[in-house]
Structure 1
Amino acid sequence: MLHYIPPAKPLDNYNSSSDTSESRESLVISTNNPATSHSTNRTVFWIGTRPESPIGAPTTSLHQFILNPLKWIVPNPPKKTKKHQESHQCVTVEEVEDEDDTSFLTQFISSGKLREAPTVDQAAEAVKDLLVLMRGESYANGHGYKDPKIDLFTRHRLEGMRAMLKFYTDQRSKTCGHWSASSLMAAVSLNRGSYCARVLRGLVRQYIRNRELLPLNPFGNWNESLLVDEALCMDINLYLQEIGNDITAQKLVQFLNRPEIMEKHGISRRISVWTARRYLKALGFRFTKPPKGQFADVHERDDVVHYRDKKYLPRWQELLERVQKWNSENQAENGPLCGRRVILWFHDESIFYAHDRRRNNWYHKDGPCKPYKKGDGHSLMVADFVSADFGWLRSPDGRSARRLFLPGKNRDGYFTAEDVQEQAANAIDLVQELWPDYDHIFIYDNAPTHLKRPETTPSALKMTKGPSENFFVEIPELNNNGKPIPGKKVKAQMGPGTLPDGTPQSFYYSDTHSDPKLCGKFKGMEQILKEQILKERGIPTEGKLAQCKNFKCAPPALDCCCRRILYNQPDFTEGKPILQSFCAQRGVEVVFLPKFHCELNPIEQCWGYSKRLYRFYPESSNQAVLEKNTLECLDAVPLDSIRRFFNRSAKFADAYAKGLNGRQAAWAARKYKGHRVLPEGILNELEKNSIT
């Protein structure tokens, strides 16, 4: 169906002498849907032979008009009426294929009335709306206007449209009421010519009909990237996944220049390395160092997740009910605690290096080149405790449990389990003296020095399958004062295990054994398993190897070899570390963090805060300067920041308690900054954002 969009004034009053060059209007294709009896209008076909017609418009021949349309989105035409109805001046053509049915329309086209100029009143309303658009929205207080955020290209065209409308509507203008002359005057004001005048007339007509149709900035639309092809993007991503971490722009060039790829996706010419770099950036890749974060490969390992979910988090939730909480403004939250107040002390060690400095800075392009000092320089290890309630562990008179250590073979050696135990003893003395009304909990990470068990604790790692007279453990030799003698060890029998009924089980034959050949010897794993009556538990022991190759048993096997069976027995797995037993005797509980979960330890962020400050200090290789700067930076960490770090760690713990994995917890922590707990609907948000 073809509809004629009429001019605003009646055709009977049309004066062709007023503006004959702009005397034609437009047609609209109306597609009728028989099922719904509704018509949908989508395309305007501009008709004209004069230069004012847009480039690509057909001639006045109706058949050429039907075959060669110029598409344009416009509002719906007037409601269909009978032919020649004056109220709408709408012409309806039922069958465009029939010359007789279109004779009336042909007369309209040939008469020049199809592109009649808008009325002055229409133009006056349009110029008012255009001024409001260009000026922007008014501020609420009435002082000035907000920036309409119109780019220079669009504003330049809007200025031309405004000038044309003013020339056309202003009574003081010599071109008032003259459409083409007004457009030419506006073009002259823009230092342009007749072509600009034609463009302005088209833009103004478009704006008068629909205020939503504004000039578009064509910047960036001249060329189209190959990446708009989703199939090509998928092939590129698959290729980049295949080459893993060896991605380069040159490899992408070689891939896209393959004949089969060019033929498959219709690529006509080869791309350059610079184009490949832009493609990689558009696909989300960056040429940079790999970011540091969680140990993704072991963070979600089965044994790590089991300890986190079954042991650490349940104890954390119990302690959290008795811990003073702090909001995002670092103010204590009111409310009674469930029992005696608990103070959580997090422990960790960190190393500061003398040459660790910020290298990125503003340097003059002609500045001199300065060689960097080789290596990291002297190192200083710091071991300390921190809490959200009191900050670093120290007394008002300056006493502290902080340990400064010079690690290295020819320096102070290495921080051993004995050093950890000694520091814990000093910390217990301080907290029980300064805050005796609270329960104190020490939280350590899963470092081997923290988890060290007594030398005689049952361990299946080096046991032999059969009897042995050489299987013993080495323990430090003690002097007369009960102190270990450095570098001296003696052999001793491994401590007893525990049978299923709770009675002790010796791993060595007695000296009075009936077989003289076995007296005092190690029993061997096979005999130990037989004594534990594993047959009654459904675990056979006959014919088992001592261990699988390199003790790398295929999961989830628990009874594949003798060593694996013993390794999973309760008396071999539940032995308490020395540190935990020692602190328990002093009335302080020790909790160990899950492995590879540094995000649960807020002291890690305290180290990061202090090291950021440390890197701004002048570089020095002096050991005394290193220690001085380190202590100043540690003392500069504010208590408010420490409490925010605690809230962040608590947020990660809450995420894991809600069933999130490491990647999901990291996403939620970034989204809900300042929160201590996550909302209940976090799982729905993760699913909505496709975070797995």
Structure 2
Amino acid sequence: MEAIPPSLGAGEMEHIIIFHHESSFHANDYQSEYWLKPGEQVLKKKDKGRLIMVSDFSIEETGHIVLTAELRKAQLSLPESERLPDHARIVICPTSKATGDSYWNMEQMIAQLKTVLRMLQALYPNKKYVFIFDNSSAHNSLAKDALTVTKMNVNPGGKQAHMHDTVILENNPHGLGGQSQSMQFPNELPLTHKHFQYAGQPKGMRVILEERGLVRPSEKIVGVCKDCKVSRSRKPQIEGLSPAEEALIADEDEGDNTEEEEETRLKDYCMQRILLLQDDFKNEKSLLEKVIEEAGHVCLFLPKFHPELNPIEMYWGWAKQYFRERSNGNFRTPLKLVHEALDVCPLMTIRKSFQRVYRYMSAYR
């Protein structure tokens, strides 16, 4: 088959659809059913074995994001620090031991994404890339300086995050729309300033609301109302989380309320609630969206609970079946088998999974 180039109008660009996928294997992950002769028995290890985690991207045209032979040769003339990897895929074996790999996190995800953007620029120049991710809490995590009301104190200073500057919304009822607003005080304040001792520190919710005209300086209003506290207490409490994991869950909490809950709760109940309903806080973009959109491309998230919209579900099913049929419990064998299982899946099978997903999407429209 020959690829038919699209017919593009003035100013139009070809869009490349890229699905991200993450999954895991276990060294002792065997097939569940066997054909055996009478008296035969399969001996299996009791535990699942070492964990092997994979993060990769799939494209319908080639199946994987892999450098061509010409690009690999061209990389040899570049300094080692500037060379691109041959394959976008990352495979890690996380463990609690200090010498092992750390568990997959957003920092590693962003590093991989930036490398993939460079690879795509070499493989598909002058095209727009549409990245599609699962709608998970990890993928929706915010940047460290994101506008996150749950990380703010009522008053200035104290232990609260430093957040990026913003612009007061045009629909501000007090005519302040369009004005820039810093979430921190300047590093130098006059001695007569009310908050002189907090120079360079976060302003807190009250000052931010006062600057927007949404709360009067003398007005008495609680920082976090009873309803907001109850809403947060309903979130699952998980022990043993690292600070990064706790922050990740806090970021996800920002948009967890349903539309029905949003309508039934009072709109001006507390400072936290007022800020949470401000569009710049409510529509804060995830770290993935920021990195991709800053590069000039598109980031989309699949709706929750709709695996039929992701072609990687069928691809992973094929790869795991291949892996289980050949795994023998030896750690070196599974590590090699993971790459083999993902690479030998026929390109036609991957393309069929893409086409099946597109038919689902067309039906849902």
Q: TM-score with structure 1 length normalisation? A: 0.40
User: Cα gap change, 1:438/1:531 in structure 2, threshold over 3 Å: closer, same or farther?
Assistant: closer
Q: Is 1:651 aligned with 2:342?
A: no
CA distance in 2, matches of 1:608, 1:337: 36
Letter in 1 for 2:157: E
Q: Is 1:445 aligned with 2:134?
A: yes
How far did residue 430 of structure 1 move?
A: 2.0
Give the corresponding residue for 2:13.
340
1:434 equivalent among 89, 105, 123 = 123
Unaligned runs of at least 5 residues, structure 1: 1-329, 474-492, 658-692
Report sequence identity in percent: 29
CA distance in 2, matches of 1:582, 1:535: 34
CA distance in 1, matches of 2:120, 2:28: 35
User: Cα gap change, 1:429/1:523 in structure 2, threshold over 3 Å: closer, same or farther?
Assistant: closer
Q: Is 1:642 aligned with 2:320?
A: no
CA distance in 1, matches of 2:286, 2:195: 36
User: Cα gap change, 1:640/1:337 in structure 2, threshold over 3 Å: closer, same or farther?
Assistant: farther
How far did residue 341 of structure 1 move?
A: 2.0
How far did residue 351 of structure 1 move?
A: 0.8
How far did residue 555 of structure 1 move?
A: 4.2
CA distance in 2, matches of 1:335, 1:433: 20
How far did residue 518 of structure 1 move?
A: 5.6
Letter in 2 for 1:638: P
Letter in 1 for 2:159: F
Give the corresponding residue for 1:583.
292
Give the corresponding residue for 1:400.
87
Deviation string, structure 1 residues 396-424 (Cα, Å, up to 9, x no partner) = 33721111111232221022222222212
Contact 1:342 / 1:439 at 8 angstroms: preserved in 2?
A: yes
User: Cα gap change, 1:376/1:341 in structure 2, threshold over 3 Å: closer, same or farther?
Assistant: same
Letter in 1 for 2:348: D
Give the corresponding residue for 1:515.
194
Give the corresponding residue for 1:529.
209
User: Cα gap change, 1:522/1:336 in structure 2, threshold over 3 Å: closer, same or farther?
Assistant: closer
Give the corresponding residue for 2:182.
506
Give the corresponding residue for 1:495.
164
CA distance in 2, matches of 1:522, 1:429: 36
How far did residue 452 of structure 1 move?
A: 3.5
Q: Is 1:472 aligned with 2:165?
A: no
CA distance in 2, matches of 1:506, 1:421: 26
Runs of 4+ in structure 1 off by over 6 angstroms are 330-335
Secondary structure of the corresponding residue to residue 451 of structure 1: coil
CA distance in 2, matches of 1:497, 1:391: 40
Contact 1:471 / 1:522 at 8 angstroms: preserved in 2?
A: no
1:355 equivalent among 7, 28, 31 = 28
CA distance in 2, matches of 1:580, 1:555: 24
Secondary structure of the corresponding residue to residue 345 of structure 1: strand
Deviation string, structure 1 residues 500-530 (Cα, Å, up to 9, x no partner) = 2122223344533523576436443233223
Give the corresponding residue for 1:388.
60
Give the corresponding residue for 2:238.
none
CA distance in 1, matches of 2:164, 2:16: 35
Deviation string, structure 1 residues 278-329 (Cα, Å, up to 9, x no partner) = xxxxxxxxxxxxxxxxxxxxxxxxxxxxxxxxxxxxxxxxxxxxxxxxxxxx
Deviation string, structure 1 residues 80-125 (Cα, Å, up to 9, x no partner) = xxxxxxxxxxxxxxxxxxxxxxxxxxxxxxxxxxxxxxxxxxxxxx
User: Cα gap change, 1:358/1:461 in structure 2, threshold over 3 Å: closer, same or farther?
Assistant: same
How far did residue 387 of structure 1 move?
A: 1.1
Give the corresponding residue for 1:546.
224
Secondary structure of the corresponding residue to residue 284 of structure 2: coil
Q: Is 1:378 aligned with 2:58?
A: no
Give the corresponding residue for 2:273.
564
Contact 1:428 / 1:588 at 8 angstroms: preserved in 2?
A: no
Deviation string, structure 1 residues 356-394 (Cα, Å, up to 9, x no partner) = 111222334x52555531221112111111111121111
CA distance in 2, matches of 1:505, 1:335: 45
How far did residue 545 of structure 1 move?
A: 5.2
Deviation string, structure 1 residues 180-225 (Cα, Å, up to 9, x no partner) = xxxxxxxxxxxxxxxxxxxxxxxxxxxxxxxxxxxxxxxxxxxxxx
User: Cα gap change, 1:654/1:417 in structure 2, threshold over 3 Å: closer, same or farther?
Assistant: same
User: Cα gap change, 1:458/1:391 in structure 2, threshold over 3 Å: closer, same or farther?
Assistant: same
How far did residue 499 of structure 1 move?
A: 1.5
Contact 2:139 / 2:288 at 8 angstroms: preserved in 1?
A: yes
User: Cα gap change, 1:368/1:408 in structure 2, threshold over 3 Å: closer, same or farther?
Assistant: same
CA distance in 2, matches of 1:516, 1:332: 65
Q: Is 1:629 aligned with 2:337?
A: yes
User: Cα gap change, 1:524/1:418 in structure 2, threshold over 3 Å: closer, same or farther?
Assistant: closer
Letter in 2 for 1:531: E
Contact 1:378 / 1:621 at 8 angstroms: preserved in 2?
A: no
Contact 1:343 / 1:389 at 8 angstroms: preserved in 2?
A: no
CA distance in 2, matches of 1:346, 1:337: 23
Letter in 1 for 2:181: Q
How far did residue 426 of structure 1 move?
A: 2.2
Secondary structure of the corresponding residue to residue 326 of structure 2: coil
How far did residue 461 of structure 1 move?
A: 0.8
Task: Indicate the RMSD between aligned Cα atoms, in angstroms.
Answer: 3.0
Contact 1:377 / 1:621 at 8 angstroms: preserved in 2?
A: no
Q: Pick the structure with greater CA Rg.
A: 1
Contact 1:558 / 1:568 at 8 angstroms: preserved in 2?
A: no
Alignment length, in residue pairs?
Answer: 302
Contact 1:461 / 1:563 at 8 angstroms: preserved in 2?
A: yes
Give the corresponding residue for 1:415.
104
User: Cα gap change, 1:599/1:333 in structure 2, threshold over 3 Å: closer, same or farther?
Assistant: farther
Secondary structure of the corresponding residue to residue 633 of structure 1: helix
Contact 1:472 / 1:494 at 8 angstroms: preserved in 2?
A: no
CA distance in 2, matches of 1:612, 1:576: 37
**Greater RCO structure (CA 8 Å; 6+ sep):** 2
Contact 2:66 / 2:87 at 8 angstroms: preserved in 1?
A: yes
